[in-house]
Amino acid sequence: MRARVLIRPKAGILDPQGQAVERALPALGFSGVANVHVGRLVELDVDDASQLPGMCERLLANPLIEDYEIIEGVAAHS
């Protein structure tokens, strides 16, 4: 099964990448942008989806500073 893991900075932790994007967008003429956060996307094929939380806790994310979200059953990457 194809799964997707979204990893983003934990709420409340300074996210300079998000801030940089948030500052850059108005400079390009896009208004009304707020709360930008930049994270990582991991896509993987797994036989046993129940292992995904463990993978996230141990390697894919650092739970101290990052939240993760698992999306199961996404379309395969071409």
Partner 1 sequence: MKFGVIRFPGTCDDVDAQLAAGRVGDAELLWHRDRDLRGVDAVIVPGGFSYGDYLRAGAIARFAPVMSQVIEFAHAGGLVFGICNGFQILCEAGLLPGALLVNDHLKFVFRQVNLDVVDADTAFTRSCPPRLSIPVKHTTGRYYSPTPVQVVLRYSAGENPNGSQDDIAGVINAEGNVFGMMPHPEHAVDPLTGSSDGLRMFESIRASVEARVGAGA
Binding site for partner 1 (CB under 8 A): 13-14, 16-17, 20, 40, 59-60, 62, 64-65
Min dist. Cβ of residue 71 to partner 1 (A): 19
* Alpha carbons 42 and 59: distance in angstroms, whole number: 11
Return the number of the residue (40 or 69) whose C-beta is nearest partner 1. 40
Nearest of 21, 1, 15 to residue 67 by alpha carbon: 15
The least distance separating partner 1 from the CB of residue 73, rounded to whole angstroms, comes to 23
Please give the structure tokens belonging to residue 19.
């801030």
Are 74 and 43 in contact by the 8 Å Cβ rule? The answer is: yes
Q: Smallest distance from the beta carbon of 9 to partner 1, in angstroms?
A: 8
